């Protein structure tokens, strides 16, 4: 039996206005090579100047993962030669990173937890982009020099499920802190997965393979499964030592395989040395005091939701998994509704109506409106069924809940006189069934309820219908 061992390196693009060492804008959707200057083009003589807000965001991150924040850290030079790096080196932090020794808790569905250790988080500059068009390749340096925080975990994960839980938690944290937009498709949250296997019970680390830049949670899960299967097969066929060696592999989603990309360089290949063009990095007292004050994070918010709203932990986890969802939920709650109804109407009814690019951030129905809708169910103005019709309408029209109830004529009838009249009609039209019911066929009760609701076009208050039927049938 084998155990899976996984450690992750996540590159998070920090959402600063300008690049790490120059004042070029970080928005790289502009015309190719327009957001560049002598520094990020690495022209001789141009010197880097550190962007202060990168430090601030790094301090926030370190605080969020309970890490040591090194009040003095250093930049180092990592040499490599690619067309997208005009300087032929990357400025990074090898020897003393700004953040070290953190932890991140992942939560399983059964309520248990596990702590994943974070080895370090260091600041580094991104490269540009190679664009291949037919026979020619172009280089766009708009992205060159944008700030990244590389977050390196210890090899503490034991399954692809743990990996996904870790990544989702990490993703939520950087979004909650608002230090990155963490958009995976656009490459501002890039994951490298290091995978090895070992016989269960063995605690030595075996050869790891790195799978680079997989841009969705689903593909990450798939890539791990495929790579683990490859390693186990090699072991079982007795060719592990020949076939599994330290290298970088790519996940090919169409072929469902991982494929060798390049042999992994040893540290010596990079010829690391302290960056001579930059001063040491100092987090002074003022910055430390200010940026270790961070907003409420997912774990705390979840605990507060359980405490304040009496939610179960599972629902609270779902709602706090993204900041947008948590804010939406809390706005709904201001209408004085139950947390259970708010959760259902948000996660099942509203989200179930999203498609394409519609999501919680651009929802056509505002949190306040959905809160009011739930309130109208709770105060029995409309039935739950009618509320679904109202929501369908609200997805298409920007109007108030009250006016939709009016327009669609969905106001629930609680007036017992009106309901009695309908009940009398139903009972008269079904005299045979009434007889059967009185002779003991009690499950016919549901039939009478259904008929009454139908005759009222769903507008009768179900509780009143029940009461009236009971008394008339007895
Ligand atoms: P490098 O700097 O050469 O990439 P590191 O030691 O910093 O190597 O490790 C990079 C990542 O690989 C870390 O996330 C670490 O947890 C993970 N890792 C290291 N050894 C193993 C292993 N045997 N199996 C799985 N992951 C590993
Ligand atoms: Mg690495
Ligand atoms: Zn620049």
SS3 track for 435-465: HHHHCCCHHHHHHHHHHHHHHCCCCECHHHH
Tell me which residue has its CA closest to atom 1 in ligand 1.
Answer: 267
- How confident is residue 261, by pLDDT bands cut at 50, 70 and 90? confident
Q: Which ligand is nearest to the CA of 193?
A: 1
C-alpha 394/C-alpha 369 separation (Å) is 9
Q: Give the pLDDT of residue 355.
A: 92
DSSP structural state of residue 361: G
- How confident is residue 197, by pLDDT bands cut at 50, 70 and 90? very high
Q: Which ligand is nearest to the CA of 152?
A: 1
Tell me which residue has its CA closest to atom 6 in ligand 1.
Answer: 154
Q: How far does residue 288's CA lie from ligand 3's centre (Å)?
A: 28
281: how many CB neighbours lie within 10 A of its CB? Answer: 20
Over residues 41-97, the pLDDT tens digits come to 999 999 999 999 999 999 999 999 999 999 999 999 999 888 999 999 999 999 999
Ligand 1: list residues with CB < 6 Å: 5-9, 152-155, 194-196, 205-206, 208
- Domain segments of the chain as ranges: 2-291, 298-408, 416-473
Pocket test for ligand 1, best of 7, 205, 268 (most atoms within 8 A of CB): 7
On whether the CB atoms of residues 148 and 123 are closer than 8 A, the answer is yes
Q: How far does residue 247's CA lie from ligand 1's centre (Å)?
A: 12
* For the CA of 195, the nearest atom of ligand 1: 25
Over residues 298-334, the pLDDT tens digits come to 999 999 999 999 999 889 999 999 999 999 999 999 9
Q: How far does residue 52's CA lie from ligand 1's centre (Å)?
A: 29
- Residue linked to tokens 């709904």: 332
C-alpha 192/C-alpha 258 separation (Å) is 13
Could you tell me what percent of the chain has a pLDDT over 90?
A: 77
Pair of tokens at residue 132 = 């291949």
Taking the model in full, what pTM does it have? 0.86
- Residue linked to tokens 């139903």: 426
Over residues 223-244, the pLDDT tens digits come to 999 999 999 999 999 999 999 9
Q: Give the pLDDT of residue 265.
A: 62
On whether the CB atoms of residues 16 and 240 are closer than 8 A, the answer is no
DSSP structural state of residue 209: E
Q: Strand, coil or helix: what is 104?
A: strand
156-170, 181-195, 273-287, 418-432: range with lowest mean pLDDT: 418-432
Hey, what CATH topology would domain 416-473 get? Arc Repressor Mutant, subunit A (1.10.10)
Tell me what the mean pLDDT of segment 240-263 comes to.
86
On whether the CB atoms of residues 95 and 25 are closer than 8 A, the answer is no
Q: Which ligand is nearest to the CA of 163?
A: 1
Over residues 394-420, the pLDDT tens digits come to 999 999 999 999 888 878 777 778 888
Q: What's the order of all strands across the beta sheet hosting 113-125?
A: 68-69, 99-107, 113-125, 147-153, 2-13, 189-199, 209-214, 247-252, 257-263
Query: What is the average pLDDT value for the chain, to the nearest integer?
Result: 93
Q: Give the pLDDT of residue 362.
A: 94
Pocket test for ligand 1, best of 208, 244, 263 (most atoms within 8 A of CB): 208
């Amino acid at each position: 039996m084998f155990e899976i061992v996984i450690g992750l390196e996540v590159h998070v693009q920090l959402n600063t206005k300008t690049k790490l060492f120059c004042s070029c804008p970080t928005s790289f959707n502009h015309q190719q090579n327009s957001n560049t200057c002598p520094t990020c083009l690495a022209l001789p003589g141009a010197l880097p100047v550190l962007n202060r807000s990168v430090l601030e965001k790094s301090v926030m991150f370190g605080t969020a993962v309970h890490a040591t924040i090194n009040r003095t850290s250093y930049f180092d030079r990592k040499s490599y030669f690619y067309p997208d790096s005009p300087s032929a080196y990357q400025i990074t932090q090898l020897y003393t990173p700004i953040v070290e020794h953190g932890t991140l808790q992942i939560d399983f569905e059964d309520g248990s937890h596990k702590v994943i250790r974070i080895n370090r988080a260091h600041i580094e500059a991104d490269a540009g982009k190679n664009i291949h068009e037919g026979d020619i390749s172009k280089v766009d340096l708009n992205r060159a020099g944008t700030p990244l925080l590389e977050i390196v975990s210890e090899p503490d994960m034991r399954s692809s499920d743990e990996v996904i839980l870790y990544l989702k938690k990490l993703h939520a944290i950087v979004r909650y802190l608002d230090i990155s937009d963490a958009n995976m498709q656009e490459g501002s949250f890039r994951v490298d997965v290091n995978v090895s296997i070992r016989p269960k019970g063995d605690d030595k680390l075996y050869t790891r393979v790195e799978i680079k830049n997989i841009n969705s949670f689903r593909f990450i899960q798939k890539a791990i499964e495929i790579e683990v299967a490859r390693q186990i097969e090699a072991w079982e066929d007795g060719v592990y030592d020949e076939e599994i060696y330290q290298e970088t592999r790519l996940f090919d989603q169409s072929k469902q395989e991982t494929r060798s990309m390049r042999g992994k360089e040893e540290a010596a290949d990079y010829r690391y040395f302290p960056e001579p063009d930059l001063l040491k990095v100092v987090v002074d007292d003022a910055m430390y005091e200010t940026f270790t004050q961070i907003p409420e994070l997912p774990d705390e918010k979840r605990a507060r939701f359980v405490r304040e709203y009496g939610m179960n932990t599972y629902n609270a986890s779902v709602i706090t998994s993204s900041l947008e969802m948590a804010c939406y939920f809390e706005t709904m709650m201001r209408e004085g509704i139950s947390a259970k109804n708010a959760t259902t109407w948000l996660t099942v009814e509203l989200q179930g109506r999203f498609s394409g690019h519609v999501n919680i951030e651009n929802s056509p129905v505002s949190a306040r409106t959905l809160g009011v809708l739930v309130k109208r169910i709770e105060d029995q103005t409309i039935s739950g069924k009618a509320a679904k019709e109202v929501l369908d309408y609200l997805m298409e029209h920007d109007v108030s809940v009250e006016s939709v109830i009016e327009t669609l004529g969905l106001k629930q009838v609680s007036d017992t006189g009106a309901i009695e009249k309908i009940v009398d009609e139903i009972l008269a039209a079904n005299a045979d069934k009434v007889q059967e019911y009185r002779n003991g066929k009690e499950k016919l009760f549901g039939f009478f309820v259904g008929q009454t609701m139908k005759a009222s076009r769903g507008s009768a208050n179900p509780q009143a219908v029940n009461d009236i039927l009971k008394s008339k049938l007895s």
